[in-house]
Amino acid sequence: MYPQSAGSPRADLYVFNGSPSTANVAVHILDEHGNNLAGVAIPGSAPASTYPGQTGATTVPIAAANTLKLNWVVPQDSPEGGPNVSHTVTVNGKSVALDGSGSAVPFGFSIDQAAASTTVVISDTNGNPIRTMDSGARNAGLVKLTWDGKNDAGVRQNPGPYTVTVTAKTQAGAPIPVTQNGKGRVSAISFAKGYPEIQLDNGLAVPVSDLLDVSAPLVTTTTTTP
Protein backbone atom coordinates (compact mmCIF):
# COMPACT_ATOMS: atom_id res chain seq x y z
CA MET A 1 0.00 0.00 0.00
CA TYR A 2 1.44 3.35 -1.02
CA PRO A 3 0.04 6.61 0.46
CA GLN A 4 0.27 9.53 -1.94
CA SER A 5 2.68 12.36 -1.19
CA ALA A 6 2.05 16.05 -0.47
CA GLY A 7 -0.46 15.29 2.27
CA SER A 8 -3.06 13.72 -0.03
CA PRO A 9 -5.38 11.35 1.88
CA ARG A 10 -5.49 8.88 -1.04
CA ALA A 11 -3.77 5.51 -0.84
CA ASP A 12 -3.06 3.00 -3.61
CA LEU A 13 -3.00 -0.77 -3.21
CA TYR A 14 -1.30 -2.95 -5.84
CA VAL A 15 -1.78 -6.72 -6.20
CA PHE A 16 0.60 -8.28 -8.73
CA ASN A 17 -0.02 -11.68 -10.31
CA GLY A 18 3.40 -13.24 -10.79
CA SER A 19 2.06 -16.62 -11.84
CA PRO A 20 1.98 -17.86 -15.49
CA SER A 21 -1.83 -18.05 -15.49
CA THR A 22 -4.84 -15.90 -14.62
CA ALA A 23 -5.56 -15.61 -10.90
CA ASN A 24 -8.88 -14.83 -9.24
CA VAL A 25 -8.27 -12.40 -6.39
CA ALA A 26 -10.35 -10.95 -3.55
CA VAL A 27 -9.13 -7.93 -1.57
CA HIS A 28 -10.60 -7.35 1.89
CA ILE A 29 -9.88 -4.29 4.05
CA LEU A 30 -10.77 -5.22 7.62
CA ASP A 31 -11.79 -3.18 10.65
CA GLU A 32 -10.50 -3.80 14.19
CA HIS A 33 -12.97 -6.67 14.64
CA GLY A 34 -12.03 -8.41 11.38
CA ASN A 35 -15.14 -7.29 9.50
CA ASN A 36 -14.84 -6.68 5.75
CA LEU A 37 -15.35 -2.97 5.02
CA ALA A 38 -15.97 -3.23 1.27
CA GLY A 39 -18.74 -0.76 0.37
CA VAL A 40 -18.75 0.89 3.82
CA ALA A 41 -18.45 4.69 3.97
CA ILE A 42 -14.95 5.90 4.85
CA PRO A 43 -15.07 8.20 7.92
CA GLY A 44 -14.20 11.81 7.11
CA SER A 45 -13.83 11.29 3.37
CA ALA A 46 -14.70 14.31 1.19
CA PRO A 47 -16.26 13.81 -1.24
CA ALA A 48 -17.86 10.83 0.46
CA SER A 49 -16.44 7.50 -0.68
CA THR A 50 -16.49 3.86 0.35
CA TYR A 51 -13.84 1.22 0.97
CA PRO A 52 -12.91 -0.79 -2.13
CA GLY A 53 -12.63 -4.55 -2.32
CA GLN A 54 -14.78 -7.62 -2.81
CA THR A 55 -17.58 -9.00 -0.68
CA GLY A 56 -18.56 -12.57 0.07
CA ALA A 57 -17.00 -15.07 -2.32
CA THR A 58 -16.65 -12.52 -5.14
CA THR A 59 -13.28 -12.40 -6.91
CA VAL A 60 -11.78 -10.45 -9.82
CA PRO A 61 -9.47 -11.97 -12.46
CA ILE A 62 -5.88 -10.77 -12.87
CA ALA A 63 -4.12 -11.94 -16.00
CA ALA A 64 -0.61 -13.38 -15.74
CA ALA A 65 2.08 -10.74 -15.11
CA ASN A 66 -0.59 -8.07 -14.56
CA THR A 67 -1.45 -5.85 -11.59
CA LEU A 68 -4.73 -5.03 -9.90
CA LYS A 69 -4.76 -1.44 -8.63
CA LEU A 70 -7.18 -0.16 -5.99
CA ASN A 71 -7.52 3.49 -4.98
CA TRP A 72 -9.04 4.46 -1.69
CA VAL A 73 -9.08 7.33 0.81
CA VAL A 74 -7.37 7.06 4.19
CA PRO A 75 -9.91 7.58 7.04
CA GLN A 76 -9.68 11.05 8.59
CA ASP A 77 -11.62 10.40 11.77
CA SER A 78 -13.29 7.61 13.71
CA PRO A 79 -16.72 8.59 15.10
CA GLU A 80 -17.98 6.73 18.12
CA GLY A 81 -19.41 3.42 16.99
CA GLY A 82 -18.29 3.97 13.41
CA PRO A 83 -16.20 1.45 11.47
CA ASN A 84 -12.59 2.27 10.76
CA VAL A 85 -9.50 0.50 9.50
CA SER A 86 -7.58 -1.34 12.17
CA HIS A 87 -3.96 -0.31 12.74
CA THR A 88 -1.48 -2.29 14.79
CA VAL A 89 0.81 -0.09 16.85
CA THR A 90 3.96 -0.61 18.89
CA VAL A 91 4.14 1.46 22.07
CA ASN A 92 6.77 2.12 24.69
CA GLY A 93 5.64 0.09 27.67
CA LYS A 94 8.35 1.47 29.96
CA SER A 95 6.61 4.74 30.74
CA VAL A 96 3.23 5.68 32.17
CA ALA A 97 1.51 9.02 32.60
CA LEU A 98 -0.14 9.86 35.93
CA ASP A 99 -2.96 12.39 35.74
CA GLY A 100 -4.66 14.24 38.55
CA SER A 101 -7.93 12.31 38.45
CA GLY A 102 -6.93 9.66 40.98
CA SER A 103 -7.55 6.86 38.48
CA ALA A 104 -5.30 3.81 38.40
CA VAL A 105 -2.73 3.73 35.58
CA PRO A 106 -2.70 0.58 33.38
CA PHE A 107 0.56 -0.87 32.02
CA GLY A 108 1.82 -4.21 30.80
CA PHE A 109 4.73 -6.43 29.91
CA SER A 110 5.35 -9.74 28.17
CA ILE A 111 7.50 -12.74 29.10
CA ASP A 112 8.29 -15.73 26.88
CA GLN A 113 8.22 -18.26 29.71
CA ALA A 114 6.56 -18.68 33.07
CA ALA A 115 8.16 -16.70 35.89
CA ALA A 116 8.34 -17.77 39.53
CA SER A 117 8.54 -14.12 40.55
CA THR A 118 8.04 -10.72 38.96
CA THR A 119 8.79 -7.32 40.42
CA VAL A 120 7.71 -3.89 39.21
CA VAL A 121 9.55 -0.71 40.16
CA ILE A 122 8.04 2.72 39.44
CA SER A 123 10.56 5.59 39.23
CA ASP A 124 10.18 9.35 38.88
CA THR A 125 11.76 11.51 36.18
CA ASN A 126 14.99 11.68 38.21
CA GLY A 127 15.27 7.90 38.29
CA ASN A 128 14.38 7.65 41.97
CA PRO A 129 12.33 4.51 42.82
CA ILE A 130 9.08 5.52 44.47
CA ARG A 131 7.10 2.29 44.40
CA THR A 132 8.02 -1.39 44.36
CA MET A 133 5.32 -3.96 43.62
CA ASP A 134 5.64 -7.72 43.94
CA SER A 135 3.41 -9.12 41.19
CA GLY A 136 4.19 -12.74 42.03
CA ALA A 137 4.40 -15.73 39.70
CA ARG A 138 3.19 -15.18 36.15
CA ASN A 139 2.47 -17.37 33.14
CA ALA A 140 4.12 -16.71 29.79
CA GLY A 141 2.48 -14.03 27.67
CA LEU A 142 1.08 -10.57 28.23
CA VAL A 143 0.67 -9.41 31.84
CA LYS A 144 -1.64 -6.45 32.49
CA LEU A 145 -1.32 -4.53 35.76
CA THR A 146 -2.29 -1.17 37.22
CA TRP A 147 -0.55 1.36 39.47
CA ASP A 148 -2.67 3.33 41.91
CA GLY A 149 -0.39 6.36 41.62
CA LYS A 150 0.94 6.08 45.17
CA ASN A 151 4.44 5.57 46.53
CA ASP A 152 5.49 2.88 49.00
CA ALA A 153 4.25 5.08 51.85
CA GLY A 154 0.78 5.33 50.34
CA VAL A 155 1.16 8.98 49.29
CA ARG A 156 -0.43 10.02 46.00
CA GLN A 157 2.25 11.22 43.56
CA ASN A 158 2.20 14.33 41.38
CA PRO A 159 0.84 14.12 37.84
CA GLY A 160 3.44 13.51 35.15
CA PRO A 161 5.48 10.78 33.46
CA TYR A 162 6.96 7.85 35.37
CA THR A 163 9.15 4.92 34.34
CA VAL A 164 8.20 1.27 34.82
CA THR A 165 10.96 -1.33 35.25
CA VAL A 166 10.00 -5.00 35.36
CA THR A 167 12.21 -7.91 36.40
CA ALA A 168 11.24 -11.57 36.15
CA LYS A 169 13.04 -14.64 37.50
CA THR A 170 12.80 -18.41 37.34
CA GLN A 171 12.43 -20.61 40.41
CA ALA A 172 16.24 -20.90 40.49
CA GLY A 173 16.62 -17.11 40.44
CA ALA A 174 17.77 -16.83 36.82
CA PRO A 175 16.57 -13.68 35.02
CA ILE A 176 13.88 -13.96 32.35
CA PRO A 177 13.81 -11.48 29.44
CA VAL A 178 10.97 -8.98 29.72
CA THR A 179 9.47 -7.08 26.80
CA GLN A 180 7.91 -3.74 27.65
CA ASN A 181 7.34 -2.50 24.12
CA GLY A 182 3.78 -3.68 23.66
CA LYS A 183 1.75 -4.20 20.50
CA GLY A 184 -1.97 -4.11 19.88
CA ARG A 185 -4.70 -2.90 17.58
CA VAL A 186 -5.99 0.62 18.17
CA SER A 187 -9.55 0.50 19.47
CA ALA A 188 -9.93 4.21 20.29
CA ILE A 189 -8.14 7.48 20.96
CA SER A 190 -9.29 9.26 24.10
CA PHE A 191 -8.86 12.87 25.26
CA ALA A 192 -10.58 12.30 28.61
CA LYS A 193 -7.37 12.95 30.59
CA GLY A 194 -6.58 16.21 28.82
CA TYR A 195 -4.07 14.69 26.40
CA PRO A 196 -4.40 12.14 23.56
CA GLU A 197 -4.23 8.57 24.81
CA ILE A 198 -4.19 5.46 22.62
CA GLN A 199 -6.44 2.65 23.82
CA LEU A 200 -5.52 -0.81 22.55
CA ASP A 201 -7.68 -3.88 22.08
CA ASN A 202 -5.61 -5.76 24.69
CA GLY A 203 -6.79 -3.37 27.42
CA LEU A 204 -3.66 -1.22 27.64
CA ALA A 205 -3.78 2.58 27.35
CA VAL A 206 -0.74 4.78 26.69
CA PRO A 207 -0.17 8.44 25.82
CA VAL A 208 0.43 9.20 22.14
CA SER A 209 3.97 10.29 23.05
CA ASP A 210 4.77 6.58 23.69
CA LEU A 211 3.83 5.56 20.15
CA LEU A 212 6.83 3.90 18.45
CA ASP A 213 5.42 2.46 15.23
CA VAL A 214 2.18 2.26 13.25
CA SER A 215 1.62 -0.59 10.82
CA ALA A 216 -0.37 -0.42 7.62
CA PRO A 217 -4.13 -1.07 7.85
CA LEU A 218 -5.01 -4.74 7.80
CA VAL A 219 -5.61 -5.77 4.19
CA THR A 220 -6.05 -9.39 3.16
CA THR A 221 -6.01 -10.92 -0.29
CA THR A 222 -7.34 -14.30 -1.35
CA THR A 223 -6.13 -15.83 -4.60
CA THR A 224 -7.51 -18.79 -6.50
CA THR A 225 -6.62 -20.09 -9.95
CA PRO A 226 -9.20 -21.37 -12.42
Domain map (residue ranges) of the chain: 94-179
Cis peptide before 47 (omega within 30 of 0): yes
**Burial call 151-174: b when 16+ CB within 10 Å, e when fewer:** eeeeeebeeeebebbbebeeeeee
The candidate with the shortest Cα–Cα distance to 91, out of 217, 199, 206, 215, is 206
Q: Is the pTM of this model over 0.85?
A: no
The candidate with the shortest Cα–Cα distance to 130, out of 144, 110, 147, 105, is 147
Q: Can you tell me whether residue 210 is helix, strand or coil?
A: helix
CA distance 178 to 175: 9
pLDDT given for residue 183 in this prediction = 66
CA distance 85 to 40: 11
pLDDT given for residue 160 in this prediction = 81
- The H or E element that residue 25 is part of is strand 23-29
pLDDT given for residue 217 in this prediction = 56
User: Average pLDDT per run of 10 along the chain, which is 226 residues long?
Assistant: 42 81 85 77 77 86 88 60 58 76 82 95 94 96 89 92 92 94 72 79 73 64 57
Residue 167 carries which side chain, given as an amino acid letter? Answer: T
pLDDT given for residue 80 in this prediction = 44
pLDDT given for residue 6 in this prediction = 35
Q: Which CATH architecture has domain 94-179?
A: Sandwich (2.60)
End-to-end CA distance of the chain, in Å? 26
